[in-house]
Structure 1
Amino acid sequence: MKTGGRLQAAIEVLDDVEKHRRPVADALKDWGLAHRFAGSGDRTAIGSLAFDALRRKASNAWIMGEGSARAAVLATYALTWGQGLAGLEAALADPHAPKPLTKRERERLAADPEAVLAEAPDAVRADVPEWLAPSLASLWGERMVEEGQALADRATVDLRVNTLKGDRARAIAALAELGATASPLSPVGLRLPDLAPTAKPPHVPSEAAYQEGLVEIQDEGSQIAALVAGPRPGERVLDLCAGGGGKSLAMAATMGNRGAIFAYDTDKRRFGDFRDRAARAGTSIVELRPPVAGGDALIDLEGSIDCVFVDAPCTGTGTWRRRPDAKWRLRPNALDARMKDQDHVLDEAARFAGSRARIVYVTCSVLREENEDRVAAFLARHDGWRLADPLARLAPETAVVLSSFVGARDGVGPCLRLTPAGAGTDGFFAAVLEREDVA
């Protein structure tokens, strides 16, 4: 396919997303099944156009004066991808391309986008849903636009070195052809170079370092959240919302594969191929605890856990770089539902905590309503708990690196908060709660 055909395909995909209000990944998959002539390079380029158009859906609509899929794709190719008006018109000369530019579209694309956006509301400039702008403004103040724009960028590709199989130097050497380098915050993190918009990303699972269990794909923020838990060899850890188990594997490595980790999730399908991943990683201390119909799969763990790790269900606002379509599907009722879930799972965590235990509360959300507010609500409901320093169990050199991301807000603190603008990671929040009688 030539560029013009790819532009048309991206428009069709976005029209499908808007019409059926479904994830863009599903729409892209169905488009590929219906157009089997498209090669892998075509599908990569079409997907990149669609995702980048969604990342900046609001600002594209403001620049173009309309919010159609066509306008979004044209603006993405000409402006975000830097092809300019001339490059776009050349692409539109293809017989399979969208219709030629109208006079109005040409005028819009020829204008200085920065000057046009200077007149836009902050929610548009930040590319965030209008209904969430007041909450984000109260959180970030004058930095809201900067933070929102960083959430609209592409995500980095980060890897975690599995210290059960080797160290970071060995992993960097093994992935030299991919250009892997040490990531800036996590002591076990690697980062791959950014790619051009149409470049096909490397298939990390095909690398020997991945197949041998030396590395796992994991955002640096997620790595740090697992490190904050600070599990020691021999401890008993409950990963209460384990999902695919990535943080359980990370904690098992931190523990030197000594102790016990119980991984639970309300939907056992989320475990996926966890057993294969654990075997590849050389991890033997993680025990999956799927839900039991009509019973309590965790009743034997009550009051016996040293660290209850709560990677709480949330809106996922911190992952908008990876899931930009979810940003525009999010509604207030979904936030309300997640807050109720978070309160429930925190109350559950207290049930399993031993006399000297800690609860590590983590979300991949940037919203105060899901983070500090939920911690404050837990402390109001439960006597005998307090907030602890989230960096206390990290190596001193790592704690120093992360210290600028820890602070108190509205009387709730200290907590760890990471964002793409400040940390270069996905958005993550972490708070450590401990018994007040723990010395």
Structure 2
Amino acid sequence: MSSKNPRRAAFDILLRIEKEKSFADILIDHELSKDIIKGADRGLLTELVYGVLRRQGTLDYIISQFSKQRPEKLELFVRLLLRLGIYQCFFLDRVPVSAAVNETVNLAKELAPRASGFINAVLRNADRGRDTIAYPDRAERPAEYLAARYSHPAWLAQQWCDQLGLEAAEELAAAMSEPPPLTVRVNTLRITREELIQRLAGEGVSCSATSWSPDGIRLNQSGQITRLPSFRDGLFTVQDESSQLAPLFLAPGKGERVLDACAAPGGKTTQIAQLMQDSGEIYACDVNNKKLRLIKETCDRLGINSVRTFTMDATAPSNAIKETTFHRILVDAPCSGLGVIRRNPEGKWSKSGDDLLQLARTQVSILENLCRYLEPKGTILYATCSTSVQENEYVVDSFLAQHPEFVVEDLRPLFPQYAPLFTERGFFRSWPHRDGMDGFFSARLKRK
């Protein structure tokens, strides 16, 4: 991936994602860090990779309309080249169709020369026939319609229809296909939100305060965040607004002992420290020792001293915490990530509905294991970035069925200022199409 051509670099990244199940953000950051791709081409590379991943289902559906072979039957190189070409023709207004076709065909001559004529024909036929594309009937086959029109797995589209009804499911599907907002959290140990907004404006960043989080700022344009002086000075960290609300619902107090059981990369950990005014003890644990370095680096940059990191499998008893008990425990459980697929679109193509059952079992086992470390009258906040009921309400109910010493705390009377974000059972549940945040879930459990 050393080419100066952003289309070739995008192809190489998409190929690695297909073959190695790699993460798009890591591969893009690695490519851009070489500083070989310059200027506007850096933005084009990012747009092509994320755009193709977000719209992959729709791109394949369009290809199927103009190719005698179904996309899944095509050679991988050919399929990826067609996706890149179709994406530019249909979804990139600033790239002329002629340029999109020519650039893709030139790339095909280099990477798949025998298929270059076929690729040229499919792209030109798709452009000429774009008004003839017929999507599945919305009323008779709603899940298939949403899957093809907005590029999501059919099983997920069906799940959204069952949860929300077709109208809201379509709004959600549309929102999940768009680029997400970029939100940061102010380091209130060093600066106020109003002061940081002024500081960012002075650094040429257009931004505004978030609607729900008292410490959030939405950046309308920023360039590379890590190069901003305010980032280097530890005045903020990147964190979506929905994620910023979970520590607020945990409500840690000064001097308490808190466990963040699945802590990496540390956004919520450092927010808990801020809420505690960097006092007390915060145990930040994760099963991946390498990811703990991210937490330490963030704490150092933000000037936080109350966090201790440990390697720990949250599903099993650990020597890291031994006989320690905690006033509060945050379980930001490993999940499907269905609520953040607009940020990590590669994830939606590597999962199936069957995966949710295994994830739910793991989530229950984490709660089962960690509840023993909670003090009497202590609080557990269970959270996921998933939209599925199976990973959220069902997990909470399964845990409560085995642990009558715990009860759900209704968040509505505790946090009335967030009332529109709570469900009828007092859980927090945010939706991108409704709230402008990632899909997130939180339930507060208290030991009697």
TM-score (structure 2 length as normaliser): 0.83
1:63 and 1:308, CA in 2 relative to 1: closer, same or farther beyond 3 A?
Answer: same
Contact preservation (8 Å) 2:101, 2:123: no
1:373-422 CA-partner distances (Å, limit 9, x unpaired): 1011111111122211235554xxxx42x3212113xxxx2211112111
1:20-50 CA-partner distances (Å, limit 9, x unpaired): 44434566578789x9954464344223202
Q: CA deviation at 1:208?
A: 2.4
Among 89, 92, 98, which residue is 1:89 paired with?
A: 98
Amino acid aligned to 2:193: R
> Residue 314 of structure 1 aligns to a residue in which SS?
coil
> Residue 432 of structure 1 aligns to a residue in which SS?
strand
Which stretches in structure 2 are left out of the alignment for 5+ residues? 65-69, 72-78, 109-115, 138-143
1:197 equivalent in structure 2:
none
Among 123, 133, 151, which residue is 1:127 paired with?
A: 151
Give, in whole Å, the separation in 2 of the partners of 1:160 and 1:113.
44
Among 161, 169, 177, which residue is 1:137 paired with?
A: 161
1:172 equivalent in structure 2:
197
Amino acid aligned to 2:156: L
1:106 equivalent in structure 2:
124
Among 401, 405, 421, which residue is 2:421 paired with?
A: 405
Q: CA RMSD in A?
A: 2.9
Give, in whole Å, the separation in 1 of the partners of 2:383 and 2:261.
11
Any runs of at least 4 consecutive aligned residues in structure 1 with deviations exceeding 6 A, and if so which?
29-33
Q: CA deviation at 1:12?
A: 4.7
Q: Which moved more, 1:356-365 or 1:323-332?
A: 323-332
Amino acid aligned to 2:194: A
Confirm or deny that 1:419 pairs with 2:431.
yes
Give, in whole Å, the separation in 1 of the partners of 2:248 and 2:9.
42
1:284-320 CA-partner distances (Å, limit 9, x unpaired): 222223349995211221xx32211100011111121
Contact preservation (8 Å) 1:74, 1:88: no
Give, in whole Å, the separation in 2 of the partners of 1:332 and 1:173.
45
Amino acid aligned to 1:229: L
Q: CA deviation at 1:54?
A: 1.1
Give, in whole Å, the separation in 1 of the partners of 2:158 and 2:422.
23
Between the two structures, name the one with larger relative contact order (CA 8 Å, sep ≥ 6): 1
Contact preservation (8 Å) 2:409, 2:444: yes
1:337 equivalent in structure 2:
358
1:342-393 CA-partner distances (Å, limit 9, x unpaired): 0111112311111111110000111111011101111111112221123555
Give, in whole Å, the separation in 2 of the partners of 1:374 and 1:241.
17
1:60 equivalent in structure 2:
59
> Residue 370 of structure 1 aligns to a residue in which SS?
coil
Contact preservation (8 Å) 1:359, 1:434: yes
Confirm or deny that 1:259 pairs with 2:268.
no
Contact preservation (8 Å) 1:126, 1:146: no
1:109 and 1:165, CA in 2 relative to 1: closer, same or farther beyond 3 A?
Answer: same
1:173 and 1:29, CA in 2 relative to 1: closer, same or farther beyond 3 A?
Answer: closer
Amino acid aligned to 1:407: T
2:234 equivalent in structure 1:
213
Amino acid aligned to 2:186: V
Contact preservation (8 Å) 1:53, 1:72: yes
Give, in whole Å, the separation in 1 of the partners of 2:269 and 2:92.
38
1:348 equivalent in structure 2:
369
Give, in whole Å, the separation in 2 of the partners of 1:207 and 1:295.
40
> Residue 423 of structure 2 aligns to a residue in which SS?
strand
Q: Which moved more, 1:385-394 or 1:282-291?
A: 385-394
Amino acid aligned to 2:435: A
Contact preservation (8 Å) 1:59, 1:117: no
1:324 equivalent in structure 2:
345
Contact preservation (8 Å) 2:101, 2:124: no
Q: CA deviation at 1:9?
A: 4.5
Contact preservation (8 Å) 1:91, 1:97: no
- Indicate the percent of aligned positions where both proteins have the same amino acid: 27
Give, in whole Å, the separation in 2 of the partners of 1:114 and 1:285.
61
1:195-231 CA-partner distances (Å, limit 9, x unpaired): xxxxxx5222222222222211111111111211111
1:297 and 1:19, CA in 2 relative to 1: closer, same or farther beyond 3 A?
Answer: closer
1:69 equivalent in structure 2:
80
Contact preservation (8 Å) 1:8, 1:96: no
Give, in whole Å, the separation in 1 of the partners of 2:86 and 2:365.
44
Amino acid aligned to 1:80: F
Confirm or deny that 1:18 pairs with 2:18.
yes
1:237 and 1:13, CA in 2 relative to 1: closer, same or farther beyond 3 A?
Answer: closer
Amino acid aligned to 1:49: L
Confirm or deny that 1:151 pairs with 2:150.
no
In the TM superposition, what are the counterparts of 1:5-44 in structure 2 within 5 Å?
6-25=6-25, 38-39=37-38, 41-44=40-43
Give, in whole Å, the separation in 2 of the partners of 1:288 and 1:103.
56
> Residue 321 of structure 1 aligns to a residue in which SS?
coil
1:290 and 1:91, CA in 2 relative to 1: closer, same or farther beyond 3 A?
Answer: closer
1:129-185 CA-partner distances (Å, limit 9, x unpaired): 123333332222212222122112112111101111111111001100111211122
> Residue 175 of structure 1 aligns to a residue in which SS?
helix
1:198 equivalent in structure 2:
none
